[in-house]
Structure 1
Amino acid sequence: MNKRSLIYSGTLIFLFMVAFLIFTEQKKESPSGVVNISVQEAKGMVEKGDVFVLDVRTPDEFNSSHIKGATLIPVSNASGSNLSSNRLLEARIDEVPKKKILVYCRSGRRSVSASTMLVNAGYSEVYNMAGGINAWIDAGYPVVSSEDKETDGSQN
């Protein structure tokens, strides 16, 4: 290889590394303004205690297992629950404080809808936990039942 080829190859490798670092350091923000985070990042937020933890699943799912300290406000009538519309997030959005919010559901789908709803309502620090409580439990993190008793989440 001649000197020019080495310089060219070295420059390409350098530019690729810079682009990779820039890409991986960016927050995983969706076009809606929602930031998707891992369960590891979510656990860090919960441990710091500076976040409002919002569970948007059904009451039955919540009663089975949830993250300790989470507040239940369902986003929809999923799984055949017959909640009146005034019990859903859209009607109760003012109950959510204007602070950092961690939103989760079972697998991550309903929480995206809820997170988008919050951003559209003017909330600025909305974090969607990718993978939902299933990913949280798979990571071995603790959950509690409606009686605040620790559980393994297996009824989820």
Structure 2
Amino acid sequence: MDRKTYRTLVAEQAVGVAELFPWDVQDQLQAGTDLLLLDIRCPDEFSVAHIAGSTNVPRGILELAVDYGYEETVPELVEARQRPIVVICRSGNRSILAASTLQLMGFERVASLRTGLRGWNDYELPLVAADGTELDADRVDELFRARVTAAQLGPESSQAA
């Protein structure tokens, strides 16, 4: 069996997942659509910056959160199988994987936020901190900047230098 990479997994799952751009989501919110904004990033990422009113369920516990009977159960999410859900992450990749998982678990109206919160911020839509204060878009750009070390880039990157 060929080894799959993160990018390969995302590309394969993206075929079956609807994606919405930030402005599409904003339009639906302004129109009063009963969207469930599901941020699947880790709690520390969520506390730094998120869309006001979004629900944080980390991807690592997603499968438990969507069914009754677990400590991780999120009743609002369990009961949202017919409700429109927009899955959110930083760049729109993890959200593809999570949206695909939700579809497998019976959620019918799931979409991923294309471009993630980076795109949301680029479109100058508001993000808030844990205390609810709105964040400056330039500060958010810095918060979302990738910080990959040489070791994380792998051996091929050091040979290219």
Same fold (TM over 0.5): yes
Unaligned runs of 5+ in 2: 1-13, 68-73, 145-161
Q: Does the alignment pair 1:69 with 2:53?
A: yes
Q: Who is 1:89 aligned against?
A: 62
Q: Deviations over 1:102-136 (max 9, x none)?
A: 11100011100110011111111001110100000
Deviation for aligned residue 1:31: 3.7
The offset of 1:49, in angstroms, is 4.3
Structure 2 length-normalised TM: 0.67
In structure 2, the residue matched to 1:128 is 112
Q: Which residue of 2 is the match for residue 110 of structure 1?
A: 94
Further displaced range: 42-51 or 135-144: 42-51
Secondary structure of the 2:59 match is: coil
Q: 2:25 aligned with 1:42, yes or no?
A: yes
Seen in structure 2, the aligned counterparts of structure 1 residues 49 and 143 have a Cα distance that, compared at 3 Å, is farther
Q: CA RMSD in A?
A: 1.7
Deviation at 1:90, TM superposition (A): 1.4
Q: After TM superposition, what 4+ stretches of structure 1 lie above 3 angstroms from structure 2?
A: none
User: Deviation at 1:45?
Assistant: 2.2
User: Aligned partner of 1:54: which letter?
Assistant: L
- SS for the counterpart of 1:113 is helix
Task: State the AA in 2 paired with 1:110.
Answer: R
Separation of aligned partners in 1, 2:108 and 2:19: 13
